[in-house]
Amino acid sequence: MNKKYDRVPELSLNTYINGNESERKEFCEQLWDGFQYFGFIILKDHPIPESLLNKAYKMSQDFFNLPESTKKNYAGVGGGQRGYTPFGTENAKGNAHPDLKEFWHIGRDLKESNENYSRIPQNLWPEEVTEFKSTFQQLFKALDDTGNIMLEALTPSLDVPKDYFETLTRDGDTKLRLLHYPPIPDDADPNCVRAAAHEDINLITVLVAATQTGLELLDRDGKWLPVETQANNLIVDAGDMLARITNDIVPATTHRVVNPVGENVSRYSMPFFIHPHPDSVLKCIPSCIGDGAKYDDITAHEALMERLREIGLA
């Protein structure tokens, strides 16, 4: 594909949600175009209230400001798939140096009657932060609904039924990650960065714009391109699972979070990783096969566990 963009395209989600047929068609085409070129797009005019996003960031900050001993009371659940993961625990695939971050995982709340109830770790809720549970349950649902809209908007370009991704992701192990990148310690290993170069494992990630800059993607010319947008916009990127089922027509783009230049302050972000149902089979979508599928079929659970082992969380 010839060079087409100098920055990640910014789309108005409202034109898909409330637009006429022509506007919705144009949105789908622009989404597909941006995803093919960058594996990233930016969403403005989305339905998640700014007040909810601001409240969530405040609560995230309140939690990470708790004493380390308190936070560690919530660590080690489900191999780090729920609750707290301490600073310096996770590393990027293929990178021996730990990332300079700590985080908290929130997953889908399933009823005990659900077939996946025993397979997906249950959520933890810190008692020390008032309204933490209700706020992040609300945000989880809002991001989940928005992510489903994004996936639906991909279906015309892939020539699959409108409910293709809805079926694939129903009751999936989707995760909301509250991320804190503290100020870089004076004694930090010079080989360590806030988040080393990596690709996401899941279908798509819906990332609430962070409180500080630092996110970069590796573009088609092999150069690092800053991904910047206004506060409370959403940055959406494709993960390995989407790349796999589209035969790499949609790339899982390498990205990273670099250490701050200038003022050394905390950075907070909230990525929402949309995962398929654990038993979903990831196989090439027929419209993407071309000369043949590049990857063998694999279940979403097998793909996830493979990556968790690679990044030190399983």
For the chain, the structural domain boundaries read 28-310
Cβ burial 64-74 (10 Å sphere, 16+ → b, else e): bebeeeebeeb
Q: Global pTM?
A: 0.94
State residue 78's pLDDT score: 73
Is the model's pLDDT at 35 over the cut of 80? yes
In the structure, what pLDDT confidence band is assigned to residue 61 with cuts at 50, 70 and 90?
A: very high
How many other CB atoms are there within 10 angstroms of residue 200's CB atom?
Answer: 23
Look at residue 116 and tell me whether its pLDDT is greater than 90.
no
119 vs 261, more confident: 261
pLDDT at 283: 96
pLDDT at 262: 84
- Tell me, what's the pLDDT at 306? 83
pLDDT in tens, 193-224: 999 999 999 999 999 999 999 999 999 889 99
pLDDT class for 2, splitting at 50, 70, 90?
low
What is the pLDDT at residue 188? 87
pLDDT (average), residues 255-278: 94
The answer to whether residues 181 and 220 touch, using CB atoms and an 8 Å cutoff, is no
Does 1 have pLDDT greater than 60?
A: no
Model pLDDT, residue 314: 59
CATH class of 28-310: mainly beta
pLDDT at 56 over 90: yes
Q: Tell me, what's the pLDDT at 91?
A: 82
- How confident is the prediction for the chain on average, in pLDDT? 92
Tens digit of each residue's pLDDT (9 = 90 or more) over 227-237? 999 999 999 99
Query: 4-13, 88-97, 147-156 — which one is most confidently predicted on average?
Result: 147-156
Q: Which of 32-46, 85-99, 170-184 has the lowest mean pLDDT?
A: 85-99
Cα angle 227-233-237, degrees, rounded to a multiple of 5 = 50
Cβ atoms of 186 and 289 within 8 Å: the answer is no
Higher pLDDT, 174 or 305: 174
pLDDT at 308 over 90: no
What confidence score (pLDDT) does residue 4 get?
Answer: 73
